[in-house]
Amino acid sequence: MPFEPINPPQFPTPIAPYSSAAKAGNTLYVSGMLALGEGGAVLHVGDVAAQTRHVLETIKTTVAAAGGTMADVAMNHIFLKDLADYAAFNAVYAEYFPGQKPARYCVKCELVKPDCLIEIASVAHIGA
């Protein structure tokens, strides 16, 4: 099945060869999002809550560009640099999913940039 790349024009150029998301049929695959600004600069260094909010706003914008909302997100893949940040991450995350909760998993790992504390990739089903 062919897919449509989704790259919201207001986003900075990706730091590697990928699209922000790919839509195949009614399924949207959102790339792992980090709290990055222009030129790949890490935003909100040392603040996992602010980085989480930035990442989720980026996902929200990406899903909207494909015609959906956060209510369409069915799965989140969460990568935390430090599990000590789990509670602060969850406090922000809960704001973005007040109704039905998507499936998810969370793992501790190193991220592509040392100052990044959180990365989230999502799968949404839009118009299904």
pLDDT in tens, 13-71: 777 899 999 999 999 999 999 999 988 899 999 999 999 999 999 999 999 999 999 99
7: pLDDT strictly greater than 80: yes
Q: How far apart are CA 41 and CA 113, in angstroms?
A: 9
Q: What is the pLDDT of residues 60-112, one digit of tens each?
A: 999 999 999 999 999 999 999 999 999 999 999 999 999 999 999 999 999 99
> pLDDT category, 11, cuts 50, 70, 90?
confident
What CA–CA distance (Å, rounded) separates 103 from 82?
21
The number of domains in the chain is 1
Q: What are the beta bridge partners of residue 76? A: 104, 122
Q: Which domain holds residue 111?
A: 4-125
pLDDT of residue 128: 62
- Show the DSSP H helices in 1-128 as ranges: 48-65, 86-96
**pLDDT class of 121 with cuts at 50, 70, 90:** very high
- Angle between helix 48-65 and helix 86-96 axes, rounded to 10 deg: 30
Q: What is the CATH number of the domain that holds 56?
A: 3.30.1330.40
Distance CA 128, CA 79 (A): 28
Q: Using CA atoms, how far apart are residues 27 and 126, in angstroms rounded to an integer?
A: 6
Residue 32 to residues 27, 123, 127, Cα–Cα distance (Å): 16, 10, 22
User: Mean of the per-residue pLDDT values for the chain?
Assistant: 95
